[in-house]
Structure 1
Amino acid sequence: MKIRKMSGYRPGYSRAFSLALMLAGSTVLTGCLNDDDSSPSSSGSVSLDTNLFPEDGQLEATIRRTTDGVPHITADNLKSAAFGHGYAQAQDNVCMLAEAIVKARSERAKYFGPGPDDINIINDFSFKAQKILSGAEEEFPMLSPESTALIEGFAAGYNKYVSETAPGDLPAECNNQPWVKTITPVDLFAHYRIVGQYASGALFATGAVFLAVPPGESPVPESVVAASQSMDPFKLVAANARMHASDIKNFQDMGLASNAWGIGREMSEGGKGALLANPHFPYTGHRRLYQVQMTVPGYLNAMGAGLLGTAVPLINFNENLGWSHTVTTSRRFTLYELTLKDGDNLTYIKDGVEKPITSETFQVEVFNGSPTPTVLERTFYYSEYGPMLSANAVTSGGLPKWGANGTAYTYRDANASTTRLLDTWLQMSQASNLQEFQDVFRNCGTTFWTNSTYADDQGNAFYIDSSSVPNLSKQALAVIAFKRNASAAYNQLFNAGLTLLDGNSSRDDWVEGSCNGLVPYEDKPKLLRADWVQNSNDSYWSTNPAEFLTGYSPMFGPEESPLGPRTRLGISMLQNPLSSGPVSPTAPEPAGQDGKFGAEDLVNVIYNNRAWYADEFLDELRNRCTAIGATQVLLPTAGSRSVDQGCAVLQAWDGLYNIDSVGAHVYRVFIANYRNSFATDLTVPFDPTDPVATPSTPSATNAGTPDDPMLQALAVGLNALDSVGIAYDAALGTVQYYQPSGGALPGLAGGSLSGGTPTDLGPSFPWHGGDGGVDGAFNAIGVVTDPFLEDTRFPRVAPSTIANTAGLSDVAGEGWRMARGTSWHFGLEFTDNGPEAFGLVSYSQSTDSDSTFFNDQSQRFSDKNYRPIAFSEEDIEASLLTGGEQTITSD
């Protein structure tokens, strides 16, 4: 492979590159920038794998930036490739990465103060109790050489960038901050432990673990070093922990969604495989996806995107195959009810044997406005399964407190260990055929909380729930089924994502088997087809209705259950590839005019901006609008109003959620209200033999009259638009937009505990698409009201919204401020000339508002101007940016 080795200027990185050139040849970086003692390359007694580690210990990688700043990293070994990846990610997102490490080290309170409602103190203690950092320290020596190479290399690349960049040259979010510093590989691995537990332990880190104390003991931490007289940072921490813990109502909802299609030989244009990848992730924070290509000649060549900080991309393709991920309906943890020994709240009985509840004490530093931080100390408790849990807090009183009724509660986390996180994705990226891809999961690989949807150059379309799922015995599953039928309260817990087991019997222990307590490959839901497979976050059951998947553990999710609107629309488009839909004559056919899918067809499936609820109900609503005319509609609460002006707009609406669509937002506020009546107004119930078409059919009772539920929903929605001055005939792109914001420190700006004030950063962009759950849009986007960038303590500008509007701001004229949804997305087809792909990262590569790559792809997404994804050497060279190539070394 031809590689030009040169350092060069690249637009958007003048400050970093200039400093790098100044330091070149004179700065020797040590510590994490070179091989450290934990890698095999540092020991002469260990045989060195030169695919993984450099023989001489020096790391070297070439980074070539192509259109929109995408880095293509080439190196002679895996550690050096990860080194280049870490450096490139730091160039684009150094503040986000630095804050992630602060979080993983339980140091948010140390640097940012107690946080709003003491959340930093609660998080820091909880992550210590969950062994995020200490577990990383314990497990790091157990990592495979491949994972070691990746983590050490990425950390070294990050460290090189931080060491070369003056603190005053960092972006506004971390400018001159002491917490931006070099890291250890263990620090990075600790971050992965949080990522792995997004759908499990992290849900309990807001208060449920913090509040778990035996009777007579207070959860309020004690001060080891006296607090400043001017503030008491922990007086209300227990009450705040209870408030935060009770905020979570559904323990299966991660706030993430996605669409993925695998197209087989029967449905692809060229007779090989094709793939649609459409993750719906946050536009901000640690869950942003970052596009990169990593190449080690003869060993690895993968293009894709991963969450910030992951050393290999996660949603990928290579020369022969590709895959995407969707969040599963599976369960990644179980609760256990312990039966306490009489008179002893620290001993429980299992199988008639006494078991101890152990304890460990931790300390957290808290900035208090003075030179001397407050040091808080708390004791946390553990069963054999894991940390103890305040079930009373988790269920808002549904389960008793520790000691009440002689019980206590704990949990076991399927993703408590992340030793295989990088191994799984590396092996997937190295696979060259279906057998090798499947072997990754036969060997207990896991994607933690996602499904995998796959296509390859042999025309295979394959789906598997590749997440970490507790392996329960048939007896334990039978007891769960019995309790769900016998107890409404138990079933309510189960439906909220809480699987409560008996801790007094080994019957409910996980079956260890070959995968350390997780369901093995042979028992996972999976499907191989020559036409198509798909998932849009509903159950594996409906992967392809031509071949329903049944008979699997309920821990994977429900079977024969209603589907969400994105799934119904997606399957409908796959089953009817030549139909533009019932109400959208201007929409392109999903598969183009030939009825077969190519790479660009698949991108345009996202961009066609159809929505299931428009397809299902728009014509019926139009008919009722005609019937009511100018007659007043009775509002559900009191009063009445006419809906004729809103109806007139809907009569002319194209039924799509394009930026020039007029009427989409009117339909949105209608459906946001009418969906609350589905259970009572739809007359055709769900039919598991026809899951796409059912439930359906609004009741004809009162149709077209002032008491019509559909017209009443429209009337309420129009009132919401009126209250903030949104015109009915506005084009969607004038009231729906993406506006980056931030630019503020996460705390302690000028010594203040409140942090900086966020502002809008750069222009806003008209944004196409619709809410996945409310509008039923396949191109799913959404409003976020959290005042912080996702998973971080960085403030952002966030709206206050009106109920039942899918996030309409309550400020006059603001409309819908989108901050999540379609992110890294692409259409891929395998051809005789290799993979061909088109797509974008909708929010762009960088979080630095001074970077050229801060919002360039946002304009592209707004314009539906997707780009070819450069993969071959020829394409990389053709799209290389001027001055966009540099070679970096570790000394």
Structure 2
Amino acid sequence: MSPVTANPVVNNYKGDTMQTWNNRAARMARGITLVLLGSTLLTACFDGSSSSSESSQSELDTNLFPADGQLEATIRRTEGGVPHIKADNLKSAAFGHGYAQGQDNVCMLAEAVVKARSERAKYFGPGPDDINIINDFSFKAQKILSGAETEFPALSDESRALIEGFAAGYNKYVAETDPADLPAECRSQPWVKEISPIDLLAHYRIVGQYASGALFATGALFVAVPPGESPNPLPVISATGGELEGFFKQVALNARSNASEIEDFQDMGLASNAWGVGSDLTENGKGALLANPHFPYTGHRRLYQVQMTVPGYLNAMGAGLLGTAVPLINFNENLGWSHTVTTSRRFTLYELTLKDGDDLVYVKEGEEKPITSETFQIEVFDGSPNPVVLEKTFYYSEYGPMVSANAITDGGLPSWGASGTAYTYRDANASTTRLLDTWLQMSRASTLAEFQDVFRSCGSTLWTNSTYADDQGNAFYIDSSSVPNLSDATLAVIQFKRQASPAYNQLFEGGLTLLDGDTSRDDWVEGECDGLVPYEDKPKLLRTDWVQNSNDSYWSTNPDQFLTGYSPMFGPEESALGPRTRLGISMLQNPMSSGAVSPTAPLPAGQDGKFGALDLINVIYNNRAWYADQFLQELRDRCTTIGATPVNIPGGGSRSVDQACGVLQSWDGLYNVDSVGAHVFRVFIANYRKSFGSDLTIAFDPEDPVETPSTPSSNNAGTADDIMLQALAVGLNALDQVNIAYDADLGAVQYYQPSGGALPGLAGGSLSGGTPTDLGASFPWHGGDGSIDGTFNAIGVVSDLFLEDTRFPRVAPSTIDDTGGLSATSGEGWRMARGTSWHFGLEFTDNGPEAYGLISYSQSTDFESPFFNDQSLRYSEKSFRPILFKAEDVEANLLPQGEMTISN
């Protein structure tokens, strides 16, 4: 679908969108018989009434639970469909939150629970290349659901209130909704049903392991078997004529292939920018915050905005991943924070030394230790009336599940037993008992000391940094992720091995920290945080000017005060920075500069050189690009020199570049929708960046990390063999291949187009699933690829055939290499599906917090909702909205029919 370039129609709604939404909600009750209290899906403990553990309390905490067991919440919706939830206790507030998320994203939440329960193959069939079978078994082996069952009784009252309340709210929505009225992705499907709090906690366990165990759930666990044992699952009840018969033996081959595809075990496919600005650089001497997560626009990692208020206990505005009962990137009356994915490591790999002659025993400190096993079963729909039951055995050491190191290194490490070794791993985020406690305590903090106390008490944000600002003018950064606490001796051995062995160093650089399992030296130091690095040893920095992170090392949080001397498990020090980090620091260091080639760009801090909320949202929207600042003028000069003379293309042939050079001469250097030439520069830099190592003449200098490396070589400058001009020529060939004009506005070739509308499988009883389609309008999309274009406002193309983390099909482009994701379909351009998501600029004032921002892809995944793409239009037009926080502002800006009170 070609992108629209002006005045896109948002859905097909006319008139009062909230009334339309309420009319649909009213239809949902048609023909429904409410679930009986005796439903086998929910125990009495989870039906919204007081649980047995509540009733056993000598004194009920009424901030957390209703004294009479009656849950009640008021949901007020303002522009964009943002729910502001108010309740008398935390469980009721979570109840309202679960209900609101059910209204907006029921299919995504239902599919997440199917995944967490290892039931994808049961409902959706084997999946492409048997991925559902592989996932289901792997999540069982990682104890996703059974671990949640074990952990639930150990949860704090706060976590229990949140999880029980959210599940009860979601269940209320499901019970009240006619299955035929659900969105197309899950309409009338048996897997959309009420859930237990344990199901929700199991989903959190997957979220917690996105940067660790989840990396092994695509195949590395599945093929980890001792010598002589087949990794293929076996049918417990034979298939009878179904599609599964005859090919389940290929599952292991697919698992092995999947495991070998991961090249970097630290790359989650997520990114973000965050600034904490202190009193020295703000307009009113208080703190300010820029929050700019770059997350997928689809699937379970979408962010959902909500305000949760329990008078006298909690008042937080923010957004969290779908299904999280409390928002995660938040602010309250006194402070706020954002998250960025860290460079830290969240698991360690162990090499076990096997006992001679016994591949199920390893030796540690001279003591023999067993490798234990556990057998699991899953159901698989194969098209026949009865599902096939498959069975498979998985293996464990004292550290955790066994993995096939041979598969994940594509033969770099030996297979189980081949060299008298086997491999296993320990996961820093295997437990989620404190997950919600951390964010709730952060949300309730009112001072820097209280915020820091959350991490002094071993709180963790799993796989993210936290960047903070407050009303006292503090700017604070901490790597608040879960990081294995290794002894000094172990760290010294790691450093020695990296220097002595290129192969070991290659593993380490790829995110695999390989330790010796035959010595207790390499065990984690348990200490106060159960094997994780404690607060005092985490990288952190407090300033009154600024702190920042854009996914590079903690080391360069502020170059005026480098952070050094920390465990290498947190990431490298004195390492080159990415272009987003370099541009971000440059704007903080030069708040009154529009950059080298973009005189029309807004000044980062405005005319006064001091940051406020509006300045910070406009920093995101200024769409500057680091590589344009660095290389555009040089490229222009070389264009002038060569003129119409053809450029030699590496590999053969030649072509002129003068037409594109003319466009670049007048490009404003920005990635706005009306910028002409941005896409030409993209295909140039996507090729030239491969030559940085050989062509840039000034090497990286840790004393000057922002301005280095830099400066292209003058060799062959302006000639047919100019490396820069050759990169441009190659890029132009790609544009020509798909008929993209050089002088097109960026918004005519770069856009956001929602898609989906299809079941994840079993459409019409088949195994193929539905056919996804484009949904609603497309929108010209500003911003650029953070790694390729070097833009701060980072967005990007996704070519995967499924919505992130789900089995929902999506319309996905086939892309051309070295173009930043240019579609291979003629005229289609760049179809963006990740990047700037929940984003805002915040400042604290004498009258409380003031913030502006959006969720770029909107609140709802339901195409029939008025909140499906309303904010997408606003993002396209740079029409950010105020983030309403005060009760009087919420009341004054309610949507028509925008208030409802729900109870159990």
**Is 1:171 the counterpart of 2:183 in the alignment?**
yes
**Cα deviations across residues 812-836 of structure 1 (Å, max 9, x unaligned)?**
0000000000000000000000000
1:25 is displaced (CA, Å) by 11
Match of 1:757 in 2: 771
Pairing 1:11–2:25 present: no
Q: One-letter code of the match for 1:784?
A: V
Matched position secondary structure for 2:895: strand
Letter in 1 for 2:105: N
Corresponding residue of 1:71: 83
Deviation at 1:621, TM superposition (A): 0.2
Give the superposition deviation at 1:248. Answer: 0.8
What is the SS of the residue equivalent to 1:885?
A: strand
**Counterpart in 2 of 1:83?**
95
Letter in 2 for 1:491: N
State the Cα deviation string for residues 169-208 of structure 1 (Å, max 9, x = none). 0000000000000000000000000000000000000000
Partner residue of 2:345 out of 325, 328, 331: 331
Structure 2: gaps spanning 5 or more residues: 1-16
- Cα offset, 1:9, TM superposition: 6.7
Q: Is 2:615 the counterpart of 1:601? A: yes
Q: What's 1:186 paired with? A: 198
Cα distance in structure 2, aligned partners of 1:26 and 1:310: 24
Residue 394 of structure 2 is aligned to residue 380 of structure 1: yes
Tell me the secondary structure at the aligned position of residue 280 of structure 2: coil
Give the stretch that moved more between structures: 171-180 or 14-23: 14-23
Match of 1:210 among 193, 202, 222: 222
2:11 equivalent in structure 1? none
Is 1:59 matched up with 2:71?
Answer: yes
CA distance in 2, matches of 1:26, 1:689: 66
**2-structure distance, mates of 1:305, 1:603:** 17
Question: What are the equivalent positions in structure 2 for 1:742-781 lying under 5 Å apart?
Answer: 742-781=756-795
Given that 1:34 and 1:57 are in contact with CA atoms closer than 8 Å, whether structure 2 keeps it comes out as: no
Shift, 1:14, TM fit: 2.4
Question: Alpha-carbon deviation of 1:860?
Answer: 0.1
Map of 1:530-569 to 2, 5 A cutoff?
A: 530-569=544-583
Amino acid of the structure 2 residue aligned with 1:40? S
Shift of 1:112: 0.1
Letter in 1 for 2:578: G
Residue 10 of structure 1 deviates from its aligned partner by 4.3
Q: Is the Cα contact below 8 Å between 1:274 and 1:829 reproduced in 2?
A: yes
Answering whether residue 123 of structure 2 is matched by residue 111 of structure 1, we say: yes
Deviations 1:390-416 (A, max 9, x none): 000000000000001100000000000
- Residue identity matched to 1:682: L
| Secondary structure in 2 matching 1:189 | helix
1:371 Cα deviation (Å)? 1.0
| 1:536 and 1:566 in contact (8 A); partners too | yes
Amino acid at match of 1:332: R
> Which of these residues, 432, 444, 452, is aligned with residue 418 of structure 1?
432
Does the aligned pair in 1 maintain the 2:399–2:425 contact within 8 Å? yes
Q: 1:268 aligns with which of 254, 258, 282?
A: 282
User: Contact 2:737–2:826 (CA<8 Å) still a contact in 1?
Assistant: yes
- With over 3 angstroms needed to count, the CA separation of the structure-2 counterparts of 1:111 and 1:24, relative to structure 1, is closer
Separation in structure 2 between the aligned mates of residue 301 and residue 332 of structure 1, nearest angstrom? 31
Following the alignment from structure 2 to structure 1, what is the Cα–Cα distance between the partners of residues 18 and 255? Answer: 49
Deviation digits for residues 631-658 of structure 1, max 9, x if unmatched? 0000011010000001000000000000
The 5 A counterparts of 1:234-249 are 234-249=248-263
Once the two structures are overlaid, the 10-residue window that deviates more, 47-56 or 534-543, is 47-56
| Closer/same/farther in 2, CA of residues 28 and 228 from structure 1, 3 Å limit | closer
1:195 matched to 2:207:
yes
Q: Counterpart in 1 of 2:146? A: 134
Alignment check: 8 A CA contact 1:40 1:46 kept: no
1:16 partner letter: A
1:686 aligns with 2:686: no
Distance 2:563 2:734 in 1: 43
Matched with 2:382 is: 368
CA distance in 1, matches of 2:262, 2:324: 27
Contact 1:257 1:281 in 2 (8 A): yes
Matches of 2:381 and 2:51, distance apart in 1: 33
Residue 804 of structure 2 corresponds to residue 790 of structure 1: yes
Which residue in the other structure is 1:477 paired with? 491
Whether contact under 8 Å (2:107, 2:186) holds in the other structure is yes
Structure 1 residue 45: deviation in Å? Answer: 4.8
Deviation sequence 1:600-657 (CA, Å, 0-9, x none): 1000000000010001000000000000000000001101000000100000000000
SS for the counterpart of 2:702 is coil
Q: Deviations over 1:791-828 (max 9, x none)?
A: 00000000000000000000000000000000000000
State how 1:714-753 maps to structure 2 within 5 Å: 714-753=728-767
* Alpha carbons 2:281, 2:545 under 8 Å: kept: yes
- Root-mean-square deviation (Å): 1.4
1:752 CA drift (Å): 1.2
In the other structure, the counterpart of 2:9 is none
* Separation in structure 1 between the aligned mates of residue 34 and residue 746 of structure 2, nearest angstrom: 54
| Alignment-mate amino acid for residue 208 of structure 1 | A
* Distance in 2 between residues matched to 1:743 and 1:851, nearest whole Å: 13
Confirm or deny: 8 A CA contact 1:12 1:853 kept in the other structure: no
Distance 1:22 1:681, change over 3 A: same
If the length of structure 1 is used for normalisation, what is the TM-score? 0.98
| 1:840–1:866 CA contact under 8 A, matched in 2 | yes
Q: Look up the SS of the partner of 1:712 in the other structure.
A: helix
Any idea what SS the aligned residue of 2:339 has?
A: strand
The question of 1:706 aligning with 2:686 is answered: no
Deviations along 1:839-863, one digit per CA (max 9) or x if unpaired, are: 0000000000000000000000000
Provide runs of 4+ in structure 1 moved above 6 Å: 21-30
Change in 2 beyond 3 A, CA 1:172/1:883: same
Write the distance in 1 (CA, Å) between the matches of 2:617 and 2:130. Answer: 44
Specify which of 834, 859, 865 is matched with residue 845 of structure 1.
Answer: 859
Quote how far apart the aligned CAs of 1:34 are.
3.2
Please say if residues 37 and 47 of structure 2, whose CA atoms lie closer than 8 Å, have aligned partners that are also in contact.
Answer: no
State the 1:15 CA deviation. Answer: 2.4
1:62 partner SS: strand
- The unaligned stretches of length 5 or more in structure 1 are 1-7
Secondary structure of the 2:462 match is coil
Match of 1:399 among 404, 413, 419: 413
- Within the candidate set 639, 650, 663, 2:664 is matched to 650
Deviation per residue, 1:667-690 (Å, 9 max, x gap): 000000000000000000000000
- 2:468 corresponds to 1:454: yes
Secondary structure of 1:354 counterpart: strand
Offset from partner CA, 1:445-495 (integer Å, 9 cap, x none): 000000000000000000000000000000000000000000000000000
| Residue pair 2:18, 2:895 contacting (<8 A) in 1 also | no
What residue number does 1:224 align with? 236
- Pairing of 1:247-286 with structure 2 (within 5 A): 247-286=261-300
User: Whole-Å Cα distance in 1 between the matches of residues 298 and 512 of structure 2?
Assistant: 28
| One-letter amino acid of the counterpart of residue 501, structure 2 | S
**1:873 deviation in Å?**
0.8
Alignment of 1:659 onto 2:659: no
Deviation at 1:234, TM superposition (A): 1.1
CA contact (8 A) 1:358 1:382 kept: yes
Deviation at 1:218, TM superposition (A): 0.4
2:325 equivalent in structure 1: 311
How many angstroms does 1:47 deviate by? 2.1
Aligned pairs, how many?
882
In structure 1, the residue corresponding to 2:351 is in which secondary structure?
strand
**CA distance 1:618–1:9, shift in 2 (3 Å):** closer
Deviations 1:740-793 (A, max 9, x none): 000000000001101000000001000000000000000000000000000000
Equivalent residue letter for 1:776: G
Would the aligned equivalents of 1:40 and 1:48 in 2 still touch at CA under 8 Å? no
One-letter identity of the residue aligned with 2:140: K
- 1:874 maps to 888
Provide the rounded CA distance (Å) in 2 between the counterparts of 1:13 and 1:883. 8
In structure 1, the residue matched to 2:653 is: 639
Question: 1:19 Cα deviation (Å)?
Answer: 3.8
